Amino acid sequence: MTNKELLKIAEQFGTPTYVYDADSIKTQYEKLTSSFHKTTRFFYACKALSNINILKYVQQLGAGLDCVSINEVKLGLKAGFPKDKILFTPNCVDLSEIEEAMSFKVHINIDNISILEQFGNKFGGSYPIFVRINPHIYAGGNHKISTGHIDSKFGISIHQLRHIERIMKSTKLLVEGLHMHTGSEIKDPDVFLQGLEIMFELADHFPDLKYLDMGSGFKVPYQESDMETDVKTLGKKVEKAISDYEKESGKKFQLWFEPGKFLVSKCGHLLVKTNVIKHTTATTFAGVDSGFNHLIRPMFYDSYHIIENISNPKGSERIYTVVGNICETDTFAWDRKIPEIHEGDILVFRNAGAYGFEMSSNFNSRLKPAEVLYLDKKAHLIRKRDEFEDLLKNQIEVL
């Protein structure tokens, strides 16, 4: 979609507004399906962006759904995902949440010994499960999004394999899938091959195994110098590794991946309005009508988002520090070259589809932004902007 179309959306729906380009999601999904063997399955990690319309669109493309909370499971079912195409991978939840997921008959992935033992003692082999393994591989673009290292809270350590086997033996636990996720923003595709080799080594210990789930972590470029995971090369390497393993072992498994950011990051554009241009002795600030209550990634992960002035794209470049309107240090970008910004200009933050609105809040009693889906060359409002009454919605006045 063009900047002209984005400006029209800003005029029609106001700012701040998240805009998602459906064609971008489709392009990313087809890039994956064309790069891997036809038996490989992709489960969209909906924690990246869970608007019901996005879920319906991804389901129509043919993907399954990766969920990390029981409410994501319910959203997935409501969006039309078949129960056998939903994987529930919670972390640090009570057994009761897993039991609720069982009532929906979705795939369940257990990532710690305590719950594995509780589940086995209560249900034995009556309900097949996945087990999430921590491979002790440090990968990812930031420590906060690296989930497979030795100190991670995610997964059961590969060094606890004997403990898993004891539970399987004593409770008749039926393990049909092994799961591994090392992190996000993985630059080296060989990390996946390293993880796959670990999966192959573990497979002999699970006689009922049907699925190997490699999680995801495919990198997307946030700035011009960034790389994107070469999924075509990765697909060929993975296919060869699996083929070699099948010939050697005589076993066959279905391979799963869980792309989240890879599918929806590029599709997202956050539109904001410039409220104030403020000059100090050392800095020129462009203050916008948003903050980390709407896009926390730059502050939380030190992430980079391209920022463009779509109201004055051909203006002379100036150096700005782009900040928000929150009573905290909510700096989106330091000393960034941007075509000259005037008060009232519309700026766009690129690659804002993943973990943008999804991590938004009402901090400072600010309202959450609107969401728009650009589909079939038309802008559709898919979430209304918060109103003041929404801040009081669940409050109970006692004074």
Read off the pLDDT of residues 49-65 as tens digits, 9 standing for 90 and up.
Answer: 999 999 999 999 999 99
Domain 268-352+369-384: CATH architecture, name and number where available: Beta Barrel (2.40)
**257-278 mean pLDDT:** 97
Residue 147 is predicted with a pLDDT of 44
Is 328 labeled as ligand-binding? yes
Mean per-residue pLDDT for 322-345? 96
Rounded Cα distance, 118 and 105, in Å: 19
Higher pLDDT, 108 or 140: 108
Burial of 253 (0-12, 13-18, 19+ CB in 10 A): buried
Which token pair is 160?
A: 């606890």
Q: How does DSSP classify residue 183?
A: B
316-325 mean pLDDT = 98
370-389 pLDDT, tens digit each: 999 999 999 999 999 999 99
Q: How far apart are the first and last CA of the chain?
A: 51
Query: Annotation-wise, does 366 bind a ligand?
Result: no
At 183, the pLDDT band (50, 70, 90 cuts) reads: low
Range with the lowest mean pLDDT among 37-41, 104-108, 375-379? 37-41
Q: How far is CA 217 from the centre of its chain?
A: 9
Question: What pLDDT is recorded for position 185?
Answer: 64
Residues making up the chain, counted from first to last: 399
DSSP H or E segment with residue 211: strand 211-213
Mean pLDDT of all residues in 232-260: 94
Give the ranges where 69-137 is alpha helix by DSSP (H): 70-79, 95-103, 113-123
Q: Which residues pair with 375 in a beta bridge?
A: 378
Cβ atoms of 309 and 339 within 8 Å: the answer is yes
Rounded-to-integer distance, Cα 385 and Cα 170, Å: 53
User: Is residue 225 predicted with pLDDT exceeding 70?
Assistant: yes
Q: Do 376 and 70 form a contact (C-beta atoms < 8 A)?
A: no
The response to whether 324 counts as a known ligand-binding position is no
**Residue 187: per-residue pLDDT:** 66
Helices (H), 172-259: 190-203, 231-249
- CA–CA gap between residue 167 and residue 119 (Å, rounded): 10
Q: Which amino acid is at 306?
A: I
Contacts of 158 by beta carbon, 8 Å cutoff, 6+ apart: 133, 134, 135, 136, 198, 202
Mean pLDDT (the chain) is: 93
**Interatomic CA distance for residues 82 and 388, integer angstroms:** 37
Angle CA 388–389–391, to nearest 5: 75
pLDDT at 9 over 60: yes
Instruction: Give residues with Cβ within 8 angstroms of 272, minimum separation 6.
Output: 15, 16, 288, 289, 290, 346, 347, 348, 349
Which residues is 18 bridged to in the sheet? 270, 371
Fold of domain 22-260: TIM Barrel (3.20.20)
According to the model, what pLDDT value does residue 149 have? 47
Q: What is the pTM of this model?
A: 0.93
Helix H or strand E encompassing 4: helix 3-13
Q: Where are the domains of the chain?
A: 22-260, 268-352+369-384
Residue pLDDT, tens place only, 338-365:
999 999 999 999 999 999 999 999 999 9
Beta-sheet pairing, 129-134 with 107-110 = parallel
What Cα–Cα distance (Å) separates residue 109 from each residue in 23, 99, 102, 106?
31, 12, 11, 10
Residues noted as catalytic = 327
Least confident of 22-26, 134-138, 194-198, 215-219: 134-138
pLDDT at 139 over 50: no
Helices 52-61 + 70-79 axis angle, to 10: 60
Query: Which one-letter DSSP state was computed for residue 363?
Result: G
pLDDT at residue 186 in the model: 64
CA distance 365 to 357: 16
Residue 299, φ and ψ in degrees, nearest 5? -85, -35
> For residue 173, which of 227, 109, 129 has the smallest C-alpha distance?
129
